[in-house]
Amino acid sequence: MSPTPRFPDLAGTRALVTGASSGIGLGIAEAFLEQGMKVAVHYHRQRDAALALCARYPALAFAVGADLGTEAGCVSLAREARAALGGIDHLVHSAGVWSDGPIASMTAGTLEATFRLNVFSAFYLVRECVGALRESGRSTVVLIGSTAGRRGEAGHSHYAASKGALQSLCMSLAVELAPAVRTNMVSPGWVVTPMAAEAVAEKGALISGVLPNRRLGRVDDVTNAVLFLASTASGHVLGENLDVSGGALLIVPRGQIEAR
Protein backbone atom coordinates (compact mmCIF):
# COMPACT_ATOMS: atom_id res chain seq x y z
CA MET A 1 0.00 0.00 0.00
CA SER A 2 1.13 3.54 -0.73
CA PRO A 3 1.59 6.02 2.13
CA THR A 4 -1.56 7.91 3.12
CA PRO A 5 -1.21 11.57 2.09
CA ARG A 6 -1.69 14.19 4.76
CA PHE A 7 -4.30 16.94 4.49
CA PRO A 8 -4.02 19.09 7.65
CA ASP A 9 -7.23 21.00 6.87
CA LEU A 10 -9.26 17.81 7.40
CA ALA A 11 -8.21 17.37 11.04
CA GLY A 12 -11.10 18.01 13.39
CA THR A 13 -13.76 17.95 10.68
CA ARG A 14 -16.72 15.58 10.80
CA ALA A 15 -17.70 12.98 8.23
CA LEU A 16 -20.45 10.47 7.62
CA VAL A 17 -19.15 7.52 5.59
CA THR A 18 -21.66 4.96 4.37
CA GLY A 19 -20.79 1.33 3.74
CA ALA A 20 -17.91 1.80 6.17
CA SER A 21 -17.78 -1.74 7.56
CA SER A 22 -16.12 -3.31 4.52
CA GLY A 23 -14.12 -2.69 1.36
CA ILE A 24 -13.78 0.82 -0.01
CA GLY A 25 -16.04 2.40 2.60
CA LEU A 26 -14.00 0.90 5.42
CA GLY A 27 -10.81 2.17 3.81
CA ILE A 28 -12.24 5.69 3.49
CA ALA A 29 -13.40 5.76 7.10
CA GLU A 30 -10.00 4.57 8.31
CA ALA A 31 -8.16 7.12 6.15
CA PHE A 32 -10.36 9.90 7.52
CA LEU A 33 -9.70 8.79 11.09
CA GLU A 34 -5.97 8.79 10.41
CA GLN A 35 -6.35 12.45 9.41
CA GLY A 36 -7.78 13.20 12.86
CA MET A 37 -11.37 13.51 11.65
CA LYS A 38 -14.48 12.48 13.57
CA VAL A 39 -16.33 9.80 11.60
CA ALA A 40 -19.78 8.27 11.76
CA VAL A 41 -19.05 4.71 10.61
CA HIS A 42 -22.16 3.39 8.89
CA TYR A 43 -22.88 -0.32 8.70
CA HIS A 44 -25.85 -2.46 7.76
CA ARG A 45 -25.14 -6.09 8.65
CA GLN A 46 -21.44 -6.06 9.57
CA ARG A 47 -21.77 -4.47 12.99
CA ASP A 48 -18.70 -6.19 14.46
CA ALA A 49 -16.41 -4.78 11.75
CA ALA A 50 -17.71 -1.27 12.37
CA LEU A 51 -17.28 -1.63 16.12
CA ALA A 52 -13.75 -2.97 15.67
CA LEU A 53 -12.76 0.14 13.71
CA CYS A 54 -14.39 2.38 16.30
CA ALA A 55 -12.51 0.60 19.09
CA ARG A 56 -9.24 1.66 17.47
CA TYR A 57 -10.32 5.32 17.46
CA PRO A 58 -12.49 5.60 20.58
CA ALA A 59 -12.67 9.40 20.67
CA LEU A 60 -13.23 9.87 16.96
CA ALA A 61 -15.31 7.02 15.52
CA PHE A 62 -18.99 6.27 16.10
CA ALA A 63 -20.76 3.22 14.67
CA VAL A 64 -24.25 3.84 13.29
CA GLY A 65 -26.39 1.08 11.81
CA ALA A 66 -29.02 1.60 9.11
CA ASP A 67 -30.64 -0.07 6.11
CA LEU A 68 -30.06 2.38 3.27
CA GLY A 69 -32.40 0.45 1.02
CA THR A 70 -35.23 2.37 2.67
CA GLU A 71 -35.97 6.08 2.99
CA ALA A 72 -36.52 5.65 6.73
CA GLY A 73 -33.09 4.10 7.11
CA CYS A 74 -31.43 7.02 5.33
CA VAL A 75 -33.30 9.55 7.44
CA SER A 76 -32.37 7.72 10.64
CA LEU A 77 -28.69 7.48 9.67
CA ALA A 78 -28.39 11.16 8.85
CA ARG A 79 -30.00 12.20 12.13
CA GLU A 80 -27.98 9.81 14.28
CA ALA A 81 -24.72 10.75 12.57
CA ARG A 82 -25.36 14.45 13.02
CA ALA A 83 -26.16 13.91 16.70
CA ALA A 84 -23.08 11.75 17.29
CA LEU A 85 -20.70 14.10 15.48
CA GLY A 86 -22.24 17.41 16.48
CA GLY A 87 -22.63 18.31 12.80
CA ILE A 88 -21.55 17.07 9.39
CA ASP A 89 -18.81 18.59 7.24
CA HIS A 90 -18.37 15.73 4.77
CA LEU A 91 -20.68 13.09 3.36
CA VAL A 92 -19.09 10.15 1.53
CA HIS A 93 -21.64 7.75 0.09
CA SER A 94 -19.84 4.47 -0.56
CA ALA A 95 -22.57 1.94 0.26
CA GLY A 96 -23.83 0.05 -2.76
CA VAL A 97 -24.73 -3.30 -4.22
CA TRP A 98 -23.41 -5.18 -7.27
CA SER A 99 -24.83 -8.32 -8.83
CA ASP A 100 -24.91 -10.22 -12.09
CA GLY A 101 -27.95 -9.44 -14.18
CA PRO A 102 -28.26 -10.29 -17.87
CA ILE A 103 -31.10 -8.24 -19.32
CA ALA A 104 -32.97 -11.35 -20.51
CA SER A 105 -33.40 -12.55 -16.93
CA MET A 106 -33.63 -9.20 -15.12
CA THR A 107 -36.33 -9.18 -12.47
CA ALA A 108 -38.19 -6.18 -11.13
CA GLY A 109 -36.94 -7.02 -7.64
CA THR A 110 -33.27 -6.99 -8.63
CA LEU A 111 -33.63 -3.77 -10.61
CA GLU A 112 -35.52 -1.97 -7.87
CA ALA A 113 -33.20 -3.16 -5.08
CA THR A 114 -30.16 -1.96 -7.03
CA PHE A 115 -31.60 1.50 -7.59
CA ARG A 116 -32.89 1.82 -4.04
CA LEU A 117 -29.45 1.25 -2.56
CA ASN A 118 -27.23 2.73 -5.26
CA VAL A 119 -29.30 5.77 -6.28
CA PHE A 120 -32.30 6.56 -4.10
CA SER A 121 -30.20 6.42 -0.92
CA ALA A 122 -27.92 9.13 -2.31
CA PHE A 123 -30.90 11.44 -2.86
CA TYR A 124 -32.28 10.79 0.61
CA LEU A 125 -28.92 11.16 2.39
CA VAL A 126 -28.02 14.43 0.70
CA ARG A 127 -31.52 15.74 1.36
CA GLU A 128 -31.25 14.90 5.04
CA CYS A 129 -27.65 16.14 5.44
CA VAL A 130 -27.77 19.30 3.35
CA GLY A 131 -28.81 21.53 6.25
CA ALA A 132 -25.83 20.45 8.33
CA LEU A 133 -23.49 20.63 5.34
CA ARG A 134 -24.54 24.21 4.55
CA GLU A 135 -24.06 25.22 8.18
CA SER A 136 -20.51 23.89 8.09
CA GLY A 137 -19.17 26.34 5.51
CA ARG A 138 -16.38 23.92 4.56
CA SER A 139 -18.35 20.92 3.41
CA THR A 140 -18.14 18.33 0.67
CA VAL A 141 -20.15 15.47 -0.78
CA VAL A 142 -18.25 12.64 -2.45
CA LEU A 143 -20.23 9.93 -4.20
CA ILE A 144 -18.59 6.60 -5.03
CA GLY A 145 -19.49 5.55 -8.55
CA SER A 146 -17.96 3.07 -10.97
CA THR A 147 -16.39 2.98 -14.39
CA ALA A 148 -19.43 0.87 -15.30
CA GLY A 149 -21.50 4.04 -15.07
CA ARG A 150 -19.13 5.79 -17.46
CA ARG A 151 -19.15 3.28 -20.32
CA GLY A 152 -21.76 0.65 -19.52
CA GLU A 153 -21.13 -2.95 -18.60
CA ALA A 154 -22.45 -5.99 -20.43
CA GLY A 155 -24.32 -8.35 -18.13
CA HIS A 156 -24.69 -5.68 -15.46
CA SER A 157 -26.87 -3.05 -17.12
CA HIS A 158 -28.84 -2.42 -13.91
CA TYR A 159 -25.67 -1.69 -11.96
CA ALA A 160 -24.14 0.44 -14.71
CA ALA A 161 -27.36 2.41 -15.10
CA SER A 162 -27.52 3.06 -11.36
CA LYS A 163 -23.98 4.42 -11.33
CA GLY A 164 -24.70 6.51 -14.42
CA ALA A 165 -27.64 8.04 -12.57
CA LEU A 166 -25.33 8.79 -9.67
CA GLN A 167 -23.04 10.78 -11.98
CA SER A 168 -25.99 12.87 -13.20
CA LEU A 169 -26.95 13.48 -9.58
CA CYS A 170 -23.39 14.57 -8.80
CA MET A 171 -23.34 17.15 -11.59
CA SER A 172 -26.77 18.48 -10.61
CA LEU A 173 -25.86 18.82 -6.93
CA ALA A 174 -22.54 20.45 -7.79
CA VAL A 175 -24.45 23.38 -9.28
CA GLU A 176 -27.40 23.39 -6.87
CA LEU A 177 -25.39 23.27 -3.64
CA ALA A 178 -22.40 25.43 -4.62
CA PRO A 179 -20.60 27.32 -3.27
CA ALA A 180 -21.55 26.19 0.23
CA VAL A 181 -21.11 22.50 -0.59
CA ARG A 182 -18.69 21.02 -3.13
CA THR A 183 -19.97 17.83 -4.75
CA ASN A 184 -17.75 15.40 -6.65
CA MET A 185 -17.52 11.73 -7.48
CA VAL A 186 -14.91 8.98 -7.55
CA SER A 187 -15.39 6.11 -9.98
CA PRO A 188 -13.20 3.08 -9.28
CA GLY A 189 -12.55 0.39 -11.83
CA TRP A 190 -11.67 -3.11 -10.66
CA VAL A 191 -10.64 -2.93 -7.00
CA VAL A 192 -9.72 -5.89 -4.81
CA THR A 193 -12.50 -5.87 -2.20
CA PRO A 194 -14.71 -8.51 -0.56
CA MET A 195 -17.61 -7.57 -2.87
CA ALA A 196 -15.47 -8.27 -5.96
CA ALA A 197 -13.58 -11.25 -4.52
CA GLU A 198 -15.28 -13.95 -6.60
CA ALA A 199 -14.94 -12.06 -9.89
CA VAL A 200 -11.33 -11.09 -9.13
CA ALA A 201 -10.44 -14.72 -8.41
CA GLU A 202 -11.93 -15.78 -11.72
CA LYS A 203 -10.80 -12.96 -14.03
CA GLY A 204 -8.31 -10.82 -12.12
CA ALA A 205 -5.20 -11.93 -14.01
CA LEU A 206 -6.88 -11.40 -17.39
CA ILE A 207 -8.16 -7.96 -16.46
CA SER A 208 -4.90 -6.71 -14.96
CA GLY A 209 -3.06 -7.97 -18.03
CA VAL A 210 -4.90 -5.56 -20.34
CA LEU A 211 -4.99 -2.52 -18.05
CA PRO A 212 -2.42 0.16 -18.95
CA ASN A 213 -1.29 0.20 -15.30
CA ARG A 214 -0.97 -3.63 -15.32
CA ARG A 215 -2.61 -4.18 -11.93
CA LEU A 216 -5.99 -4.16 -10.27
CA GLY A 217 -6.90 -1.28 -8.00
CA ARG A 218 -6.29 -1.23 -4.27
CA VAL A 219 -8.58 0.30 -1.70
CA ASP A 220 -6.01 2.98 -0.90
CA ASP A 221 -6.02 4.08 -4.56
CA VAL A 222 -9.63 5.10 -4.02
CA THR A 223 -9.28 6.48 -0.51
CA ASN A 224 -6.47 8.80 -1.57
CA ALA A 225 -8.72 10.26 -4.27
CA VAL A 226 -11.50 10.79 -1.73
CA LEU A 227 -9.11 12.52 0.67
CA PHE A 228 -8.12 14.94 -2.08
CA LEU A 229 -11.73 15.75 -2.97
CA ALA A 230 -12.70 16.27 0.68
CA SER A 231 -9.74 18.56 1.29
CA THR A 232 -9.42 22.23 0.38
CA ALA A 233 -6.60 21.06 -1.92
CA SER A 234 -9.43 20.48 -4.43
CA GLY A 235 -11.21 23.70 -3.54
CA HIS A 236 -11.93 24.67 -7.15
CA VAL A 237 -13.10 21.19 -8.23
CA LEU A 238 -16.88 20.76 -8.55
CA GLY A 239 -19.03 18.21 -10.34
CA GLU A 240 -16.08 16.11 -11.45
CA ASN A 241 -15.98 12.33 -11.78
CA LEU A 242 -12.47 11.19 -10.93
CA ASP A 243 -11.75 7.80 -12.46
CA VAL A 244 -9.47 5.54 -10.42
CA SER A 245 -9.18 2.63 -12.80
CA GLY A 246 -5.60 2.14 -13.96
CA GLY A 247 -6.58 3.41 -17.39
CA ALA A 248 -9.52 1.04 -17.85
CA LEU A 249 -11.55 3.59 -19.80
CA LEU A 250 -8.78 3.80 -22.38
CA ILE A 251 -9.14 0.15 -23.44
CA VAL A 252 -11.77 -2.23 -24.79
CA PRO A 253 -15.05 -2.53 -22.87
CA ARG A 254 -15.22 -5.18 -20.21
CA GLY A 255 -17.69 -7.22 -22.22
CA GLN A 256 -15.02 -7.81 -24.83
CA ILE A 257 -12.55 -8.88 -22.14
CA GLU A 258 -15.07 -11.43 -20.83
CA ALA A 259 -15.53 -12.84 -24.33
CA ARG A 260 -11.87 -13.75 -24.68
**Contact, 92 vs 18, CB < 8 A?**
yes
Question: Length of the chain in residues, anyone?
Answer: 260
Q: What's the pLDDT score for residue 201?
A: 66
Q: What's the pLDDT score for residue 260?
A: 45
Q: What's the pLDDT score for residue 138?
A: 83
The conformation of residue 14, written as its DSSP 8-state character, comes to E
What is the distance between the alpha carbons of residues 118 and 149, in angstroms, rounded to a whole number?
A: 11
Pick from 175, 165, 69: nearest CA to 125: 69
230 CB-contact burial (10 Å; exposed 0-12 / middle 13-18 / buried 19+): buried
Domain map (residue ranges) of the chain? 8-191+218-247
Q: What's the pLDDT score for residue 228?
A: 97
Return per-residue pLDDT of the chain as tens, 260 residues: 566 789 999 999 999 999 999 999 999 999 999 999 999 999 999 999 999 999 999 999 999 999 999 999 999 999 999 999 999 999 999 999 888 889 999 999 999 999 999 999 999 999 999 999 999 888 999 999 998 778 878 878 889 999 999 999 999 999 999 999 999 999 998 777 776 666 666 666 767 777 777 777 789 999 999 999 999 999 999 999 999 877 788 865 555 555 44
Out of 1.10.3210.10, 3.40.50.720, 3.40.50.1220, 3.30.70.260, the CATH code matching 8-191+218-247 is 3.40.50.720
